[in-house]
């Protein structure tokens, strides 16, 4: 019997990627049946659909619950007290930022239109807005927001940053930049041509982008959401898109999954991806590295990374 027990979901990808670790007994548990051990040092719930199953951890003693996402809104309703939970900071930021910038480029340069034309064999030149020289407002300046800023650095945009509280801090390039506070949002929106949302979901941010916020944006502004769907009041965004005044590129929606008959699907000025932000080939190796660091920290009697609840 090894001196350390790690439980992984039955998803074969993570199990194959992590391989064998000296002194670590790896068991499979999706938190939907009896616990395989009475004590598990680190429990890694399934990436999808794991939130309601967290109540099952009460069946075992554990040192850490290692979540596979950055976002953890709503978990406190299901996670029994006394169990530290770490999120997956360091795993998804790069891939999510890639998609955010990709969605912005695709929407700005009309790629959905050109793809539709190509399927019909139609050669039709049309001028679309550049990403260069646009005023970009990044809302949410944690790991994802900073990663988006870093990837926009070569596109010659004019970047404004906004987070919950105003501050000056260093970006990933080591430069000191100003971050506006949430109370300045409506003052900044009229000059925003590309709005990128990377905020976590909370009571404060739920429905933050409603009819009033959208009305403050200039005509033809682009709304990119890679944060959480309920940051946006969907009906209010649909109204603006239907009127043709705004455009949207959404990796997250409310509701989610987006029903096949939802009006967002049929709007030509909306580009939708199915919450694919962190789902790239970078995820598994980074998740494995994080789990390995957490094991090393616990074995050394040190505090694990990324504790967000119960710590």
The catalytic residue positions are 228, 256, 275
**Cα separation, 196 vs 141, whole angstroms:** 11
Q: How many CB atoms lie within 10 A of CB 135?
A: 17
Q: Which of 224, 193, 214, 223 is nearest to 131 (CA)?
A: 193
Half-sphere exposure of 20 (CA within 13 A, CB side): 3
Six token digits for residue 282: 């970078």
DSSP single-letter state for residue 270? E
Q: Which of 140, 190, 147 is nearest to 161 (CA)?
A: 140
Q: How remote is the C-alpha of 72 from its chain's centroid?
A: 10
**CB contact at 8 A, 223 and 213:** no
């Amino acid at each position: 019997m090894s001196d350390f027990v790690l439980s992984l979901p039955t998803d074969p990808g993570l199990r194959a990627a992590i391989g064998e670790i000296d002194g670590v007994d790896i068991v499979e548990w999706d938190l939907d049946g009896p616990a395989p051990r009475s004590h598990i040092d680190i429990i890694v719930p399934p990436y999808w659909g794991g939130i309601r199953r967290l109540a099952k951890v009460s069946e075992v003693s554990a040192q850490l619950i290692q979540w596979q996402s950055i976002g953890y809104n709503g978990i406190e309703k299901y996670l029994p007290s006394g169990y530290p939970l770490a999120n997956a900071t360091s795993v998804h930021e790069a891939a999510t930022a890639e998609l955010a910038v990709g969605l912005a480029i695709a929407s700005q340069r009309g790629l959905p239109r050109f793809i539709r034309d190509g399927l019909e064999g139609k050669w039709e030149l049309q001028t679309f807005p550049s990403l260069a020289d646009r005023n970009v407002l990044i809302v949410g300046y944690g790991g994802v927001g900073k990663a988006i800023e870093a990837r926009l650095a070569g596109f010659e945009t004019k970047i404004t940053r906004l987070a919950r509280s105003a501050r000056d801090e260093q970006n990933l390039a080591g430069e000191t930049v100003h971050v506006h506070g949430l109370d300045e949002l409506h003052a900044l929106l009229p000059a925003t041509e590309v709005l990128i949302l990377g905020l976590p979901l909370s009571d404060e941010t739920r429905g933050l982008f409603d009819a009033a916020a959208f009305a403050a944006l200039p005509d033809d502004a682009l709304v990119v959401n890679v944060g959480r769907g309920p940051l946006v009041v969907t009906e209010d965004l649909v109204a603006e898109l239907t009127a043709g005044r705004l455009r949207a590129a959404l990796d997250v929606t409310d509701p989610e999954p987006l029903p096949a008959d939802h009006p967002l699907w049929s709007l030509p000025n909306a580009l939708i991806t199915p919450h694919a932000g962190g789902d790239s080939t970078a995820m598994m190796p980074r998740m494995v590295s994080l789990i390995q660091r957490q094991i090393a920290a616990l074995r050394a009697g040190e505090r694990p990374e990324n504790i967000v609840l119960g710590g």
